[in-house]
Structure 1
Amino acid sequence: MGRLQSSVGLVTGTNIQSTVDQLISISGQPRDRLISRTEQLQNQQRAIAELTASVIGVQLAGKKLANASAFQSKSAVSSNADALSAAAGENAKAATHTVRTLQTAATHATSSRQRFSSADVALGFTGQIRVAPSGGSIDGSADLSKLNDGRGVEAGVIRFTDRSGASAEIDFSDARTIDDVLQIINDAEVDITATTENGAIKLVDKSGSTASNLKIEQLGDTETAADLGLWGIDEASSSVSGLKFELPEGVSSLRGTALSELGGGNGIGPLGNLDIELSDGSSATIDLSNATTTAEVIDSIAASGLSLIVKYNDAKNGFQLRDVSGGTGNFKISSTDDTAVDLGVANDTTDDVVVGASLNRQTVTSDTLLSSLNQGAGVNGSFTIKDSSGKIGAINLKLKNITNMGELIDAINELSVDVTASINENGDGISIVDNAAGSETLTIRDAGSGTAAKSLGIAGAATAQTIGGQSVSALVGTQSNVIEVTETDTLASLVEKINQDGRYGTSSIQSNSDGTFALRIRSNTAGGQGQFAINTTGFDLDLRTESRGRDALIAVSTDEGLERFVTSSDGVFDIDGAAGSEPITSASLLSSLSGSAASGSFTLTDSAGKTSAINITTQGIKTVGSFIDAVNALDIGVTASISEDGAGITLIDTAGGNKTLTVSDVGNGLAASSLGIAGTAKTQTINGESVSALTGSTSSASTESTGLVFTLKELSDSPITITVAEDSKAVESAAKTFVDQYNKLITKVDSLTFFNADSNEVGLLFGSSEVQRITTGFSRLLSGTVNGAGPIKSVGQVGIKFATGGKLELDNDKLVAALESNRENVQAFFATDETGLANRLDELSDRIAGVDGGLLLNKTDTLGLQIERNSTQVDKMNARLDKERDRLLATFYANETAISKLQSNSSAIDQIQRITIDGS
């Protein structure tokens, strides 16, 4: 058991612990001085880190001054931002745009007029609901821009004079379709009715007078009347037809739909007489034998003189007739032949409205692009086909480069499996019929993660179907969403069934204010492409369109140039390449499209492998027209023309080979690239035909959204002005950030190098040569001359100057003035590679704070080594002091023990008694 020791000597009363601590403290003074020095070095190291961060802040701020996007920044100001707002990216061009807002966007939505007391009670319906995508409507109208060989119809004003002598000046600036033209004429204050007949506009005088000729006069220097085929009409006749239009490829009629496209593409008719008897007993027999389009059918019925209204039904896939005679009898529509049935209007009813059945316009043909199916979602992937004999074949759309329905049908029919593929009888999809007569069942399955078969509606096992009047085992795909309805279905279950496919619309239950419920379907796709038609068989939900899908429409004129119509499905318009430039013409100079397009050479190799070349310079090609002529004169299978939208040049492969049309620039030339026609051809639809082509654009459109964007919020009665100008705010902000960061650096330097004579205090880095080099380096750079970066030579010329205390000030007005005077010179001063101010700041900052041998990094490393050596020395000194403490304590305690022993001996001696010797 060890001895107990007290911090106070028990013998001497000395405070041993305190005495030893004082002695060690005296001995530890050199160590303490070293610790203090180490702490100072650590503080300096932290100060160097703060200084490094400040230098890097200046470096990064300098780089912002070199950012090209800051100098390319644009502002867009709308004169009516509540109706049309604008945002300009760096690629937007400074210009003034005048915008007429013509139509807001709408998403297609349909609801049932029939109301239900509960959403969960069986409806008792049996039949089908078919949701068909856009394209099946029969109310089409020819787009004016595609008429006259793509030249379109020039906007302008025409004076119409009826035979009474009354006239009206009619402005066609807002017309985009033939129907628009007719509506504008029919709404004018003149007794002239416009319609179409035999591919031309027909004018019928309704004044009943013969005082004047029926006359058409073009006002101004436009060619509107000529473009509409009405030029020079001045006839003493109550009915005059204009010149017949040459319809563009893919367009079968000026108005409506050709009867030959109905019945799934099999056509309807020939039509005969249609007998109509109204409820008041009035009747008429209408000769429809000359009608070739749905519009002509409507015109003929409307001209019968009966008190009825005839138009397209709500779904736009059939007709609707309304009896407005006010009688009490039946409304009867019939014919002695199949005319009434073919038109879907045969009826004998007490109702005053007859809603015609769908006329089943063909929506899928051999030329239909697979990418256009499913409302633009397209068809992708691979699938396998196993016929009833067990043979298996496979289709890989990408591998076989199958782009349209015709190519797909051919590819299936070329397989070794015994099936026949064709467009189905409804004209809305593909039909696969088994011919093998085996014991198994024709089956089609998607491969891997592909969905091609499902998207085409042919995935699964074949069933017995009647095709061509015969019962066959087949899979028949349709682009319609077909919902089978049973008598146990409720409103809620109908919604669930519709949403299971959900390709075209999302269904929901609509709660009405009277406590009833209705079915509602809203398109998944915005704008005109999102239109759909809904038909029911076996029951009637009395479906009505709440809002018809339509694209937003504006007319844009840039810098008082030609006005262009621009559409958008959602009301957001990307104006890059649309309103920013006028359409090119044959007379357009290549140099005006792109300087690089005016020189150089390129080669063209058609699909048959035949190659030729164009040399812009040596052939003296200056204009778009001469360029097109030069290409068309080559002895290869390529045809050149101006693209349909007038934005560039189109090259169409006509060789019919198994390779791909390729265009490549030669040497350092950039002509083909500048015109956007370099590369390999792709399948495109041009003039209604699927072709292999390269279509270039001369606009400066970017792959990013950096151009000019308009957002239409509401219509405006008056034109809106959008002013796009250079925006200095980004450069101003970058300059202010640089000045602020530099001033923060100077503030940091001042806080680290100060000297207070009164208190004799100094900053952590007082007298530091590194700090001196920082301030000297930046001061010399910013106060000196910057050569090799354009005509601007100093920061003072761009509004940056030195103030008191070595800090900077920004004269924002002077900076803005410099930018307005010559933006490119300011950008060059800041951003020129190697010699610009930003690059010099970057190099100086790297020398000071860079990670590869930077001044401050070296200083930090040096301080680190000193701190490390000091720490090692302190550890050694602490070890020696610990030993010294132990020695001193041992000595004091030993002394106490010795003194205690001496005291014990003395006491013992004192206790010895004196011995007396008796002398007696």
Structure 2
Amino acid sequence: MGSLFSGVGLVSGLDINSIIDGLLRIEARPRDLLQSRIGKIDAQRTAFLEISARVSALLGRISAVSTASAFRSTRATSSNASVLNATTADGAQPGAYQFVVRGLATTHQLVSSGVRDANAPLGAGTFSLESALARVNRVARLDELNGYTGVQRGSFQIEDASGTTADISLADAVTLDDVVSRINSAGVNVRAEVRNEALVLTERSGGVVRVRELDGGRSAADLGLAGSATGTLAGRTLARLQERSPLSGLNDGRGVRRAQAGGDFRITNSAGSQFNVDLSGLLVDSTRLERLNAGRGVEGGEIRITNRRGDVTTIDLSAARTIGEVQRAIDSAGAGVSVVLNAGRLIVTDTTGSTTGTLKIEDVSGNAARDLGILGNPDSGRIDGRTILTVDTLGDVIRAVNFAAGNDGAVTASLDPADPTRVTLRDASDGTTGRVLLERIGDSQALADLGLRAGDHDSDNPITGARITGGVNTTLLGSLNGGRGIALGTLRVTGASSAVEVDLRGAATLEEALSRINTATESIGVRASIATGGTRLQLTNVDGSAGAISAEDVSGQFAAITGLNSSAVGGVVRGANLQRQYINENTLLSTLNAGRGVSSGRFRITDSAGAVASVDIPASARTLGDVIRAINAGANGAKARINDTGDGLLLEDSAGGTGTLRVEESGGATARDLNLLGPATGSRIDGSFELTITAGAADTLDSIVRRINERSSIAQATLLNDGSGINPFRLSIASRQSGAAGELIIDGGALGLDFSTLSRANDARVLVGAGADGGGGVLVTSGTNTLSNVVNGVTLTLSGVSQDPVTVTVDRNLDTVTAALKGFVTDYNDVVKRIKELSAFNQQTSQSGPLLGDSTIQIAQSRLNRLVTGAVGGTGALTRLSQVGIRLGEGGALTFDEARFKQAYEANPEQVSSFFTAADTGAAAKLKKELEAITQDGGLFKRREKALDTQKTQLTERIESLNGLLARRRQRLERQYRAMEQAISGLQAQQTALGSISAVSAPTRR
């Protein structure tokens, strides 16, 4: 029989569902109470999350005042922003700084003569462009004179024969030409010029010229001028070396090419004593102490070592002569430390295994620990000593020879006292061989770069090297021809009617060679000079005759190398590019490509046999020498060296294959930056930084512009239209680098283009600390108009020139700190206010907040109150926030008195900074710790949230259990009602049946 049950009893007519639902609602009241409790728990959790977020915002405010840099923040204001503006960074110190801007950095820009049509063929010819570093008459800077020790920037006085005087200030002079110009425009009857690498003053009337120092300075003396003379006062030479002269300045700035390790050259004296000279700057066992600290050596004595375990050991280093003896003395003393030689320094490491104490090294007597660079008491167990061995100056080289291992005074190196542009070696032994042998070691070029010839020196004592200091407004002959120099001999110069011969042997500089030529050729009306552009020589017929002039070599190669071995009728013999070398193995990668440098990365070299080598130029690569070594380490037939013109790299193929040498990038731009990208011409890729464009018959001004921009890394070209009716189109070329370093040399004569200067290549010149007259200031130059860290932490931006000082005032900028403290107060009050709202009881509505009576929020409220009223940090006079302006005001609201805070800061900036920022005891650290104890994992709120989660889980489980009971109760009631319906149905059926029986049995009436 099927079920008769439905929502309404079919038999009884009762609304059974409603009856069951009503019964179950009564039985579900315990479950509903539990659900109500879960709702309250959810409200509590939401409230705690909200308060936790607000407290976390307080942590952000605290972080803003937790570092000392926040309290060191500064701002700069300029008294004349139209001339100079300033910004500050970390490290700037408050104060007032004066600057006089004497010149702005400008970019070299040139413009060509005009042509009628930019797209009309120019005709065949060549165009060349390169850095002015190729110039052979580059003007000497004052800081390069006297062996790069420079000239004092003071003042001196010149008096002419009439008694007229002029004060010459060098305050903002940059070059020797600046000095000459100032003297010649000073209003005295004296002419200044540079002659034979010296400053020469000539009294025009032939009288006495006098020079006096001013203000106790030595400016005149540094310029080689002193005293007085009748007619002409010739200063001493300004081209001389000193032991302080940097190696990087030798050989016209090409420096000294040294080995990275293993020694540079070997000396064998006449007694057979042999020793190696190492210029690497690496400490080795045999390094003599006399070489350390730029020749100051080590003041011997006792040192005391306290290791991390607390053991104290005293070591006597008085008898040590070498760094190896120092190392062994310390290692064998049982001090619980080890000593390692690392490049030019010592590293001392604690070996006790203790991690609690500190390693300490101190001097007991003498200054050995200080001079060895290991004096100190670091927190760790290791002392990384300072660098104590360098080979940066000529004095370092001299000491490397004189104190080389195995040289006990047998050979002495020094500057030549008679000509301090050269190095000498003196053999002090009484040997019988009568010769000194100099040999280079490996690939080192140091011997040659020091002017010393490798080989036997049979009768030379002392051995005097070649000149190695660059010239004053001139160039060493050894720098020409790509750095290979010129073989000198006898030059024959022919004038219009006669010829003379000039002995050039022994000349060291180009000026010296020209001086000899002009002395000899004066009688034949011919003059040798440097052509416009500064890269060529020329012979000029100066007597006005119509005859031919010419030059040729009788011996040597001067005419051939300089390109003067030709003739001209009544005019000028123009020589070839002298190819002054300005790039070599020592060239810094950062100086290439107009100062943009060379990007690190990889490139592939495929030689003619198809062998491929991948070359990696890491970020640590500093020089072209590093690049050459990386290329030459490749496993194929391509090798690199400096090219023959001394202005880039040369890649040569020696594989002998039939393919083409090729260089390709491996995802970077390194090969392009080195000018090596692409296929070879023949078996070579010449990475010259001189751009030479050979124009074809169809080339136009517009195509020349495109070719320059495609190939030049130092200049950019544009096409100008000056609007004139005739020949309006011009080629404008601008350097990619501002300042003097960006000066260009352009030769477009073969294309019929003459260039004039629109903007010179000038460095910015700023006198720091100078008064209105420029006196007392320090000159700073820059290739850009943005100068960083002239004053520590201050960046200057120049926009104008003024003779009046501009004052930059740097003061503390507390805006960030005060904003953070104001924000802290606001956020704190918001937290407290919200806690009160969530914990309140509304008597009118009888509604309570979700956190009413919650002990956790009461604890948090109490902690927050103690944070701002109790001692929070500091070890000095400041221990409470109220002392720096943060206190409770009316109604319990926190307030911030900014004036009081600034007053406390101005009274003692370091104390206020320390109060907030001290690592363990500072207010920021304490506040952070307390706030994190409320909000972070394991903190007060997290524990409460976890407890609420547990309660909710338990209640949810109980509700699920009750729901199960209710479901089963519903099923039971439904069964009972079905049974009732069935019973009623059965009764009705019985009743119907009984009624039927009764009807049958009743009598029938008629």
User: Of 181, 187, 203, which aligns to 1:189?
Assistant: 187
Q: Distance in 1 between matches of 2:236 and 2:93?
A: 42
Unaligned runs of 5+ in 2: 242-249, 252-468, 523-527, 553-557
Question: Deviation at 1:818?
Answer: 1.3
Question: Deviation at 1:197?
Answer: 0.9
Q: Contact conserved, 2:479 with 2:580, CA < 8 A, in 1?
A: yes
- Residues 756 and 481 (structure 1), Cα distance of their counterparts in 2 relative to 1, 3 Å cut: same
Higher deviation after alignment, 550-559 or 738-747? 550-559
Question: Deviation at 1:126?
Answer: 3.2
> What whole-Å deviation, never above 9, does each CA across 1:725-747 have from its counterpart, x for those lacking one?
33333332332233233223212
Secondary structure, aligned partner of 2:48: helix
Q: Distance in 2 between matches of 1:394 and 1:919?
A: 131
The alignment status of 1:252 with 2:444, answered yes or no, reads: no
User: Of 807, 814, 817, which aligns to 1:721?
Assistant: 807
Structure 1 segment 149-164 matched on structure 2, within 5 A? 149-164=147-162
Question: Deviation at 1:801?
Answer: 1.0
- Residues 517 and 198 (structure 1), Cα distance of their counterparts in 2 relative to 1, 3 Å cut: closer
Structure 1 segment 338-737 matched on structure 2, within 5 A? 358-364=577-583, 368=587, 372-375=591-594, 377=597, 424-429=643-648, 443=661, 477-491=687-701, 493-510=703-720, 513=723, 517-536=729-748, 538-557=750-769, 563-575=777-789, 578-579=790-791, 707-737=793-823
- Residues 721 and 762 (structure 1), Cα distance of their counterparts in 2 relative to 1, 3 Å cut: same
Question: Deviation at 1:86?
Answer: 1.6
Q: Distance in 2 between matches of 1:549 and 1:42?
A: 74
Q: Distance in 2 between matches of 1:390 and 1:905?
A: 113
Unaligned runs of 5+ in 1: 277-284, 305-309, 324-329, 465-472, 581-706
Q: Contact conserved, 2:127 with 2:750, CA < 8 A, in 1?
A: no
Q: Contact conserved, 1:558 with 1:579, CA < 8 A, in 2?
A: no
Partner of 2:94: 94
Letter in 2 for 1:720: V
Question: Deviation at 1:130?
Answer: 3.2
Letter in 1 for 2:955: N
The alignment status of 1:216 with 2:211, answered yes or no, reads: yes
Question: Deviation at 1:185?
Answer: 1.8
Q: Distance in 2 between matches of 1:571 and 1:195?
A: 31
Q: Distance in 2 between matches of 1:354 and 1:78?
A: 56
- Residues 37 and 458 (structure 1), Cα distance of their counterparts in 2 relative to 1, 3 Å cut: closer
Question: Deviation at 1:867?
Answer: 0.9
- Residues 223 and 916 (structure 1), Cα distance of their counterparts in 2 relative to 1, 3 Å cut: closer
The alignment status of 1:832 with 2:918, answered yes or no, reads: yes
Q: Distance in 2 between matches of 1:143 and 1:347?
A: 36
Secondary structure, aligned partner of 2:86: strand
- Residues 333 and 521 (structure 1), Cα distance of their counterparts in 2 relative to 1, 3 Å cut: farther
Letter in 1 for 2:745: A
Q: Contact conserved, 1:247 with 1:253, CA < 8 A, in 2?
A: no
User: Of 840, 849, 852, which aligns to 1:766?
Assistant: 852
- Residues 430 and 271 (structure 1), Cα distance of their counterparts in 2 relative to 1, 3 Å cut: farther
Letter in 1 for 2:910: E
Q: Distance in 2 between matches of 1:12 and 1:918?
A: 35
> What whole-Å deviation, never above 9, does each CA across 1:691-719 have from its counterpart, x for those lacking one?
xxxxxxxxxxxxxxxx2221223323421
Partner of 1:50: 50
The alignment status of 1:810 with 2:896, answered yes or no, reads: yes
Question: Deviation at 1:243?
Answer: 2.9
The alignment status of 1:243 with 2:243, answered yes or no, reads: no
Instruction: Calculate the aligned-residue CA RMSD, in Å.
Output: 5.4
Question: Deviation at 1:125?
Answer: 3.6
Equivalenced residue count is: 752
Q: Distance in 2 between matches of 1:453 and 1:331?
A: 54
Secondary structure, aligned partner of 1:221: coil
Secondary structure, aligned partner of 1:173: coil
Partner of 1:794: 880
- Residues 836 and 257 (structure 1), Cα distance of their counterparts in 2 relative to 1, 3 Å cut: same
Q: Contact conserved, 2:476 with 2:508, CA < 8 A, in 1?
A: no
Q: Contact conserved, 1:95 with 1:724, CA < 8 A, in 2?
A: yes
Q: Distance in 1 between matches of 2:846 and 2:580?
A: 98
Partner of 1:690: none
Secondary structure, aligned partner of 2:953: helix
Partner of 1:662: none
Identity over aligned pairs, percent: 30
Partner of 1:179: 177
- Residues 848 and 519 (structure 1), Cα distance of their counterparts in 2 relative to 1, 3 Å cut: same
Secondary structure, aligned partner of 2:769: strand
Higher deviation after alignment, 765-774 or 890-899? 890-899
Question: Deviation at 1:174?
Answer: 1.4
- Residues 30 and 427 (structure 1), Cα distance of their counterparts in 2 relative to 1, 3 Å cut: closer
Q: Contact conserved, 1:739 with 1:810, CA < 8 A, in 2?
A: yes
Partner of 2:959: 874
Question: Deviation at 1:99?
Answer: 1.0
> What whole-Å deviation, never above 9, does each CA across 1:32-69 have from its counterpart, x for those lacking one?
22212101101101111122223333334334332121
Partner of 1:66: 66
Partner of 2:168: 170
Q: Contact conserved, 1:105 with 1:571, CA < 8 A, in 2?
A: yes
Letter in 2 for 1:876: S
Secondary structure, aligned partner of 1:759: coil
Higher deviation after alignment, 56-65 or 81-90? 56-65
Question: Deviation at 1:859?
Answer: 0.8
Report the TM-score when normalising by structure 1.
Answer: 0.68
Q: Distance in 1 between matches of 2:491 and 2:629?
A: 33
Partner of 1:36: 36
Higher deviation after alignment, 762-771 or 72-81? 72-81
The alignment status of 1:81 with 2:76, answered yes or no, reads: no
Partner of 1:199: 197
Question: Deviation at 1:503?
Answer: 2.6
Partner of 2:224: 229
Q: Contact conserved, 2:539 with 2:573, CA < 8 A, in 1?
A: yes
Q: Distance in 2 between matches of 1:512 and 1:86?
A: 38
Partner of 2:459: none
Q: Contact conserved, 1:373 with 1:379, CA < 8 A, in 2?
A: no
- Residues 798 and 17 (structure 1), Cα distance of their counterparts in 2 relative to 1, 3 Å cut: same
- Residues 175 and 787 (structure 1), Cα distance of their counterparts in 2 relative to 1, 3 Å cut: closer
Q: Contact conserved, 2:4 with 2:978, CA < 8 A, in 1?
A: no
Q: Distance in 2 between matches of 1:416 and 1:728?
A: 61
Q: Distance in 1 between matches of 2:598 and 2:644?
A: 22
Q: Distance in 2 between matches of 1:878 and 1:398?
A: 71
Secondary structure, aligned partner of 1:739: helix
Q: Contact conserved, 2:100 with 2:770, CA < 8 A, in 1?
A: no
Higher deviation after alignment, 834-843 or 157-166? 157-166
Q: Distance in 1 between matches of 2:886 and 2:696?
A: 80
Question: Deviation at 1:84?
Answer: 1.7
User: Of 932, 935, 942, which aligns to 1:849?
Assistant: 935
Q: Distance in 2 between matches of 1:732 and 1:402?
A: 45
Question: Deviation at 1:864?
Answer: 0.4
